[in-house]
Structure 1
Amino acid sequence: MYFISRVVGAYDIDTLIRREEANNWSDLLFLMRSSWFSRRWVIQELALAKEATIRCGSKEVDAISLFDMNFPKIRTLLSDRPGDYYAITELRPLGAKILVDILSNTFFRAADRSLFEPAKSLETLVSSLPTFETTDRRDTVYAFLNIAKDTFPKFAPGLAPAGIDIPPLTSDYGHDLLTVYTNFVRYVVASSKSLDIICRHWALPERQDMALVTKSSRGLPSWIKTVPDSSYGQPSEELNGRKNGDSFVGLPDARIYNASRGKWPEIRFGMEPSGSPSFSDSHVPDGDSASTPMATETALTHGVDSISINSQVTSRAPSPTNSHFSDRSSSSDSKILPDTPTSSSPTSPISEHHDPKYQDSSIYVKGFVLGTVSWKTDPISAGIIPQVALERLGWSRTEGKAGCHPVPDQVWRTLVADRGPDGRPPPSWYHRACLRCLVHDTPNGHVATKDILEQRSSGIMSDYVKRVQAVAWNRVVLEGMSAKSRHGETLVGIGPPRTEKDDLICILFGCSVPCIIRPWVLTNLNSNNGIKCRNPSTREQPDYYEFIGEAFIYGKMDGQAIESISPEDLLARTQEFRLL
């Protein structure tokens, strides 16, 4: 605590980055790793405070932003102490840093530092602060209601866009976790007119000990992405370095792509009747929203001792996905539907015998199939881009070594998802940096990004490689066959780690990036062992789809997929997907 005071008072912090101060920096890093900095309710305490101080024992100092820009030099001081050197490999996921970065701009303040009005939406706060822990997982959302601009009591009533009925969002601890999360997603989609929230890893999974107490452990549907699969994992893992790539959709107030060409989402939740209006039915900005009769629906009704199945078939056009299902004979008996009965029909038995403990966890969204995954790599481990991935993207190693083969746009742009770290178009020198990385690859043709960073801590190669890691870490490089291309167009891109061959690449209306979904067919319906599922065979209609995650598809990120087809073709290809 004395040392923090010295840091605060130092005119030049470089004067303290010396070997004899290593113990002090080590102690400060230990303090910053305190679990207090990762408690979710701390965020509200600090955001609403007029002044914030850190107190430890009898010592007290101002809460300040510490050594962010100098972290690499400070970490070097600890290089001879492996325990300290590897304790924090990157400051970005550290709770203490996030608190300073986010909370300094959470409220607009008057000259006397009193609160004026909140500056960030509820969606932004939940998406920006996913790794902050809370005992009651419902507080993943509820902890921010009093500091978000759209739910702040004084300002919320006048924030709804004209003509849009946004469902109110208030804390209700009588709701179970799935209900709270579903209501949050419903609210976000209505208020933002975007489906991007289903791509972000924002939700804290239910605590097992709490699930035993409440007897409500049902798992979450695939369209609610959880924090353990985020860039740096759950709070207990955040200091171990990067775990996954950064989100392609970015934060709510900084949209990066526009794959669905600004089309609003067409979505309905769970037990809403098929004839009820979706969010976008009466709010389409350009009047070109397409809709088709919905797919065959399967109503699942949960009884006390058994699960019965009722199917209600509605008239529909042939599914445009039928021709893209190959015969996958592998049965997925290990996959069991979540313990939540679902219904999409107002006449289904669940309407007559509804148990409030259970609810339909499906959402129905509209979009169209862009293509089918035909090939993919294993997840890119430790940031090593394999040679086979580079070749599939279009890189010729032999010609490149000879210096007569420029790096194709498809290669260097795909590896950085065609954006810089700020979400803007990539700088022109990325092309040159990529060529240097490829020419200086390992003997087996792979590009080891971690090795490059250890050898070159700065420069264009370093900046480029850091962006490649943020995009490709633990993701797969994929190829896909276009659904409707007469010329057999091959799609290339980067997808989530669980991507498999024959998954579908889709454009979902309201989502700013393409998505990967997986079709499933229910099976063993008369078995006492529960409902199971398998991959659909050729021309077999899926019962539902699993949402695998967001993807980058080269040349399809800014509305090209929609712009390249006529309104009539778009209407014919549009279908409703049941995501569970």
Structure 2
Amino acid sequence: MSTSDQEDEVPSGRAEPRIGPLQHRARTWDTGAGTSEPARTLRGITQKKIRQKINTYKYKDISYTEDIRILKILAGKKDSALKCMLFPSNLRLTQSTSKGKNHEYKALSYWWGEGEPEHPVIMYDDVGVRDGLRTMSPFTSSGTFYIRGNLKAALEQFRSESKDVDVWIDALCINQDNVKEKTAQVARMDEIYSSASSVWVWLGAGKPETKETFDFLKYDILDLKVLDDLVKTKEYEKKWKLVVTLMKNRWFSRRWVIQELALARRAVVRWGSEEMEWSNFADAIALVMTKHDEITEILGNEKTFSAIKPDGAIKQRLIHLEVLVSSLFLAFEASEPRDTIYAVLSLAKDTMTQPELGKSPSWLLESNSSEEDLATTFLSFRALVCICLYPCYLLFKLVWTTPQPSKPEDSSSHDSPSEPIIDPRIAPDYDKSLTDVCADFMEYCVETSQSLDILCRHWAPPPKPLTPLEKLKLEKEDRVQEVEKMPTWIPSIKGHAYGGPLDVLTGRRNGDSFVGCHERQNHQHYHASGNLRPSANFGKCDPIVEDHQDLTDLEEPTPSDKSLDVIPEESGVSAKLPSKLLLRLRPKKFDGTLTVKGFKLETIEHISGRVMSGIIPGEAFEFGGWPKVSEMTVDDKYPDEVPDQLWRTLVADRGPDGTNAPAWYRRACLECLTHVDNNGNLNTDKFRKVEDTPETMKLFLKRVRNVVWNRKFFLTAGKSRHGVLYGIAPPKASNNDIICILFGCSVPVVLRKVSDDRYNFIGECYVHAMMDGESLPVIPVKMPEHPYSSVKGFTLI
């Protein structure tokens, strides 16, 4: 869903995607909208403010915790104005106490688009028409609703000249200005998409190459007898480029597509007037991926596709929320930052608690469908992930599997007070600050996983910048823009190996995380703190409402305000305050601090420059015990052996997927070090591309690049019982930062002291010979016990 899928403004005038060296990320994705936005010049922004379109349509209240609105696209000719009507409906899968009935509809999955809404839709009030055709008269009450170009193109494409069309579209069917309604409806996304007769996947208005692209997918790639011939020569290079271009459509980057398609009964891909069944589309892309190597050779672009092979369908939710949010779907964007978590809630296995009251979320209700029905109900989910995550190398063997037969339950049991509901800390709530949403999620993860590793997983979205309309409103109200500053212990997605969602096609940006193997849950690569449990205290604010302004001066709410939710009486604030004011007065839950228990290991004394573009600086090798090249004479020879700490640190003492580092890495490392340049630097990219480079060297260098990319090498002061330590630190680390072992964290971390008892969290690190509990007290010294009352710990800010 894209309830908050509004896109941050990006430069317009995008160049057509091309094969070859990848361009700046702002030009990576194809919008698919078929339209261009005004240039973001000062004049253009000013004109936008002046001609800002204001909706005149007023939403009618519905029982939004039980019902939804359906959009009726009124019949009309191709070039006529768009006319629609909204009406309430029950959902097929749930029982409602409202008087309405459930009505069949299709649901739209699409990218909202760029810029401000400026295309008018005449929106009529509900006149009771549900089935058949109805022509509205000039006397029928209506208003104007403005939408973006991509949605306008979709409505015009789906409109019929002979009959009305019922569809659910988040931007129109949910009152986006009503936070309570939006929160309630987002919590029911699984019901909305699974109740729809089908889901329309809208890729945009179409382009001249649309038909040729779809024909190639349908009639060539899906023909297994033809497929092998397509990759034997460069004859089909142009058509392979069409497929690559298609995959850069912005729809494929949206985080909500995971839920929208995973829960759909049937889906159809539409690009302009061309369409394909999703099952055929997914099969075509999966078949393309089986020819990854051949296509790479034809196009000369190794980043074209990944070698992931999709199979199977969703049958049971087996992945924890922490994994879904912080690993599997990082390449999917959520322009409303809170949706980074909310968009995958219904797919996680651990989002439920056992409260005293409450009903089961709809996705936990038993279905009366047979196993065969279930197989056809859910789409090829792994194919979706492959399509959208082709720059990333992820494994999904343990993501989805066929469920064990379960005993039928009496339907009445779902009303039992003991049935689970979603944990309130992670339940959709758009009234919470982003910091509170992230901190609640992290507190939940620490509690459920009994680990602090979430501190080292780069997943958190940045705060959403204000739109021009929001800035204009602030100016009119003479208020200053409030910029939310995230604590350092909430790890930004920018630190992920491939950066944010819009960065994935530009290649690697950082080294792989050290903290665990997501495809094998509860498995950790290292055990720096042994098996000690975490001790984490998330600082909370005083629950008293902050006195942001004199509430006695507030006027009685206007009639339009009275339809809004008001502040509860127990809050101590006058109950006549409208919810829009509540958004500005609601206090934060968390104060931005996190106190964790652990101990200081060492202090960084020497640190290298960052590993840029795969070039490892000579000082990194010198720190590890390799001779300084600039001081070697002509007669000097390279050592016959590589210091153990050097080659093991270069690969973080692990092979691919967290396995033990193979012994032959040592020999491969020695060969690489004999090819450094005159400054002692090693260009890992150079040898990877040379044809006669031994395959073992290529495999070794691939592992090295994955570990050291954009990181720094360091030596510690050596003042502890462990002596001088050698390792790899995050890019922001510097001299005098401290290396710490936090109880419950599988790897060491780097902290920076900012005051007597406050620290910034810099990030995870690798410290040679300190990754498996070697820093902990040795017998007969007694190990600390949870909750470690005698340990002071660190307060992170």
TM-score, scaled to structure 2: 0.53
- If you compute each CA radius of gyration, which structure gives the higher value, 1 or 2? 2
1:441 to partner: Cα distance: 2.5
Q: How does 1:132-281 map to 2 (within 5 A)?
A: 132-151=332-351, 153=361, 169-209=426-466, 217-252=483-518, 253=521, 254-271=523-540
Q: Answer yes or no: is the 8 Å Cα contact 1:127–1:200 preserved in 2.
A: yes
C-alpha separation in 1, matches of 2:666 and 2:603 = 29
Q: Answer yes or no: is the 8 Å Cα contact 2:436–2:588 preserved in 1.
A: no
The answer on 1:366 being equivalent to 2:597 is yes
Q: Secondary structure at the match of 1:363?
A: strand
Q: Which has the higher contact order (CA 8 A, sep 6+)?
A: 1
Q: Answer yes or no: is the 8 Å Cα contact 2:541–2:591 preserved in 1.
A: no
1:543 to partner: Cα distance: 3.4
Q: Answer yes or no: is the 8 Å Cα contact 1:271–1:360 preserved in 2.
A: yes
Q: Secondary structure at the match of 1:208?
A: coil
Q: How does 1:282-431 map to 2 (within 5 A)?
A: 356-357=587-588, 359-396=590-627, 402=637, 404-431=639-666
Q: Answer yes or no: is the 8 Å Cα contact 2:609–2:617 preserved in 1.
A: no
Of 501-510 and 421-430, more deviation after overlay is shown by 421-430
Gap change, CA 1:51 and 1:245, over 3 Å in 2: farther
Q: Kindly provide the CA deviation profile for residues 102-137 of structure 1, in whole angstroms up to 9, marking residues without a partner as x.
A: xx6783x2xxxxxxx211111111012123112321
1:358 to partner: Cα distance: 7.3
Q: Secondary structure at the match of 1:381?
A: coil
| 1:484 equivalent in structure 2 | 720
The answer on 1:518 being equivalent to 2:752 is yes
| 2:274 equivalent in structure 1 | 58
- Counterpart of 2:497, as a letter, is S
| 1:493 equivalent in structure 2 | 727
C-alpha separation in 2, matches of 1:59 and 1:355 = 46
Q: How does 1:33-112 map to 2 (within 5 A)?
A: 33-49=248-264, 54-56=269-271, 57-60=273-276, 61-64=280-283, 65-68=286-289, 70-79=291-300, 85=301, 89=303, 91=305, 107=314, 109=315
C-alpha separation in 1, matches of 2:304 and 2:767 = 29
Q: Kindly provide the CA deviation profile for residues 261-296 of structure 1, in whole angstroms up to 9, marking residues without a partner as x.
A: 0211101111289xxxxxxxxxxxxxxxxxxxxxxx
Match of 1:2 among 195, 206, 215: 215
1:208 to partner: Cα distance: 0.8
Gap change, CA 1:34 and 1:434, over 3 Å in 2: same
1:561 to partner: Cα distance: 1.0
The answer on 1:118 being equivalent to 2:314 is no
C-alpha separation in 2, matches of 1:506 and 1:237 = 31
Q: Secondary structure at the match of 1:361?
A: strand
Q: Secondary structure at the match of 1:220?
A: coil
- Counterpart of 2:704, as a letter, is V
Q: Answer yes or no: is the 8 Å Cα contact 1:52–1:63 preserved in 2.
A: no
How many residue pairs are counted as aligned between the two chains?
454
Q: Answer yes or no: is the 8 Å Cα contact 2:261–2:267 preserved in 1.
A: yes
Q: Secondary structure at the match of 1:477?
A: strand
Q: Kindly provide the CA deviation profile for residues 326-377 of structure 1, in whole angstroms up to 9, marking residues without a partner as x.
A: xxxxxxxxxxxxxxxxxxxxxxxxxxxx971574011110000010001111
Q: Kindly provide the CA deviation profile for residues 439-471 of structure 1, in whole angstroms up to 9, marking residues without a partner as x.
A: 222333211011011114771111111111111
1:43 to partner: Cα distance: 0.7
C-alpha separation in 2, matches of 1:543 and 1:418 = 34
Q: Secondary structure at the match of 2:597?
A: strand
| 1:20 equivalent in structure 2 | 235
Q: Secondary structure at the match of 2:466?
A: helix
Q: Answer yes or no: is the 8 Å Cα contact 2:749–2:763 preserved in 1.
A: yes
Gap change, CA 1:573 and 1:494, over 3 Å in 2: farther
Gap change, CA 1:91 and 1:223, over 3 Å in 2: farther
C-alpha separation in 2, matches of 1:505 and 1:366 = 14
| 2:774 equivalent in structure 1 | 560
C-alpha separation in 2, matches of 1:138 and 1:355 = 17
Match of 2:679 among 444, 448, 454: 444
C-alpha separation in 2, matches of 1:11 and 1:376 = 57
Q: Secondary structure at the match of 1:505?
A: strand
Q: Answer yes or no: is the 8 Å Cα contact 1:127–1:251 preserved in 2.
A: no
- Counterpart of 2:753, as a letter, is P
| 1:525 equivalent in structure 2 | none
Of 371-380 and 443-452, more deviation after overlay is shown by 443-452
Q: Secondary structure at the match of 2:717?
A: strand
- Counterpart of 1:495, as a letter, is A
What stretches of structure 2 of length at least 5 have no aligned partner?
1-213, 353-360, 366-413, 415-421, 475-480, 550-584
C-alpha separation in 1, matches of 2:597 and 2:347 = 33
| 2:696 equivalent in structure 1 | 460
Q: Answer yes or no: is the 8 Å Cα contact 2:452–2:745 preserved in 1.
A: yes
Match of 2:736 among 484, 495, 502: 502
Q: Secondary structure at the match of 1:499?
A: coil
- Counterpart of 1:576, as a letter, is G
Q: Secondary structure at the match of 1:560?
A: coil
C-alpha separation in 2, matches of 1:422 and 1:77 = 30
| 1:130 equivalent in structure 2 | 330
C-alpha separation in 1, matches of 2:267 and 2:766 = 41
1:155 to partner: Cα distance: 5.5
Q: Kindly provide the CA deviation profile for residues 376-422 of structure 1, in whole angstroms up to 9, marking residues without a partner as x.
A: 11111111111111011112366998465211221111001111121
Gap change, CA 1:481 and 1:67, over 3 Å in 2: farther
C-alpha separation in 1, matches of 2:724 and 2:609 = 19
Gap change, CA 1:514 and 1:498, over 3 Å in 2: same
C-alpha separation in 2, matches of 1:229 and 1:120 = 23
- Counterpart of 1:195, as a letter, is L
| 2:394 equivalent in structure 1 | none
- Counterpart of 1:255, as a letter, is Q
1:46 to partner: Cα distance: 2.2
Q: Secondary structure at the match of 2:713?
A: strand
C-alpha separation in 2, matches of 1:481 and 1:565 = 26
1:206 to partner: Cα distance: 1.2
| 1:320 equivalent in structure 2 | none
Gap change, CA 1:139 and 1:448, over 3 Å in 2: same
C-alpha separation in 2, matches of 1:9 and 1:63 = 14
Gap change, CA 1:498 and 1:105, over 3 Å in 2: farther
Q: Answer yes or no: is the 8 Å Cα contact 2:425–2:440 preserved in 1.
A: no
Q: Secondary structure at the match of 1:259?
A: coil
1:255 to partner: Cα distance: 1.8
Q: Answer yes or no: is the 8 Å Cα contact 1:202–1:227 preserved in 2.
A: yes
Q: Answer yes or no: is the 8 Å Cα contact 1:376–1:500 preserved in 2.
A: yes
Q: Kindly provide the CA deviation profile for residues 519-557 of structure 1, in whole angstroms up to 9, marking residues without a partner as x.
A: 002xxxxxxxxxxxxxxxxxxxx2310000000000111
Gap change, CA 1:561 and 1:69, over 3 Å in 2: farther
